[in-house]
Amino acid sequence: MKPLDPAVEVIVARHFQEFYATRRKPTKTRFWREVAADCRAQGLVPPSIRRLGRWLELKDQARLQARREGRDRAERRHLATPGTLTADRSLDIVQIDHTKADVTVVDPVSRHPLGRPTLTLAIDVSSRMVVGFHLSLEPPSLLSVALCLTHAVMEKSHWLAARGINTDWPAYGIPKAIYVDNGAEFHARAFERACSEYQINLVHRPPGTPRYGGHIERLIGTMMGAIHLLPGSHFANIFERGDLDAEAEAVMTLQELETWLAHEITGSYHARVHSALETTPLAAWEARGSEAKPRLPTDLRRFLVDFLPSEQRVLQRDGFHLFHIRYWADELRWMMGRDSRKYTLKYDPRDLSRIFVLSEDGPIEARPADLTRPAITLWEHRAARRALREAGRRSLDEELIFTTIQAQRDLVNSAERETKAIRRHKARRAHLKRGSMIDVTPATEPSDTLPAPKNAGSVLRDHPGFYVEEWYDDD
């Protein structure tokens, strides 16, 4: 190509650096107009748009796309990937990741919209089988990873039967390696220590290389595509969503969405031919499975406890103090007076009514010293502490925390009753107004007040869990 006039080249290069090769991503036509305007202002002949296009073609296209659209997109299109992540047998490599589900869920009692849940998924790279998942209204955390991994490891026939699902889900067992990104929950000491204890090779994907998580990302895309069919879907972008009000359309609770996803995974995804495998994930799992049975933990409950978040505490004369709550167990008396070393305390943020103290003889279950305390979540506990701090109290005591939580629950219940009563009252007035026009009077009128539903309390407290949660309901 004949080179540009040096003066014109200066103008073109300046607009390329400051205007075209930026995240504003102007069109080639707009780029040409800016160049032509400056050329004419200086009495120069501007290049044609076709010649300017040939000038752009000589630039490093990978670097240009990285400047205009970001490095991730540029790498996916231009970076050579001579090797792919492969696994010979099932459970050789499992990938785990989170995503915000593109659908709003509702409260199981009031049916009011609660928000979009977080979906944690685990996929077997060899067979593309979904080995486990977990839904939560909380952001990604070590707890969601622990519950997803426990669901992946466990044999699922009881879990499916409890939800009325008749399809098979033969994927279970401890994986040999887990591939994850660099989220804080995947770098937690408790997660790394538990993986080491169960001889799981933990591999973090290199920063800035999303292609290393391609299998789980494609699975997430497939699951979101299915979720877009549900009422309350937010779709992938505002153009697909249009003027649809996702909150107004939402109808499914978190537990109903969990069951729906289990149907979608076992009855649809596992039974469809995967383009990369040229067979179904279910057939690939059975064909690529090891001759030996999958490796299982001797105690599934202990497996979950090992992956739960933890804190280090010294055993005091009256027990362990965690989250301003005093915990005690009779077994702790035999540990008194040994030394002042710190013990590892495992806790489930969904239920602070018990913790697990790791000792040489196994985990010891400890409960609040005051057994009259109600079961609360860590989120309720933190909200109560925030409320106390905002009220100006510097010292926090256990009695005040539980009193505050109970007052907050009573306020929620009262607000829910009042809201329902007002809505019923408005509905009755509208009905009477319409009835007066046609001279029809209802035989009975609904009551202005409604009793509080029995399970109307903290939404977090009523979250559905996996089969393993049944171990905690033995009070």
> Which pLDDT score is estimated for 393?
56
Higher-confidence residue of 399 and 142: namely 142
State the chain's mean pLDDT as an integer.
Answer: 79
pLDDT tens for residues 285-332?
A: 988 765 567 889 988 888 988 888 888 898 888 889 988 889 999 888
pLDDT in tens, 278-288: 889 999 998 87
Residue with tokens 């040994």: 338
How high is the pLDDT of residue 353? Answer: 86
Whether the Cβ atoms of residue 316 and residue 203 lie closer than 8 Å to each other: no
Q: Of 63-67, 101-105, 233-237, 420-424, where does mean pLDDT reach its minimum?
A: 233-237
Which of the pair, 232 or 434, is modelled with greater confidence?
232
Tell me: the pLDDT tens digits for 346-380? Answer: 988 888 888 999 888 788 889 988 777 777 777 77
The Cα–Cα gap between 69 and 26 comes to: 11
Residues 439-449 have pLDDT tens digits of 433 444 444 44
Least confident of 112-116, 135-139, 355-359, 393-397: 393-397
| Band (76; pLDDT cuts 50, 70, 90) | low
Where b means 16+ CB within 10 Å and e means fewer, 51-81 reads ebeebbeeeeeeebbbbbeebeebbeeeeee
**Cross-strand partners of 363:** 358
The pLDDT assigned to 11 comes to: 92
User: Between these two residues, 38 and 412, which has the higher pLDDT value?
Assistant: 38
Structure tokens at 373: 């305390």
pLDDT, tens digit (0-9, with 9 covering 90-100), for 110-130: 878 888 899 999 999 989 999
Whole-number pLDDT of residue 81: 47
Strand order in the sheet with 320-322: 310-314, 342-348, 351-359, 362-368, 325-328, 320-322
pLDDT given for residue 252 in this prediction: 83
- Higher-scoring residue by pLDDT: 143, 389: 143
What is the pTM (predicted TM-score) of this model?
0.61
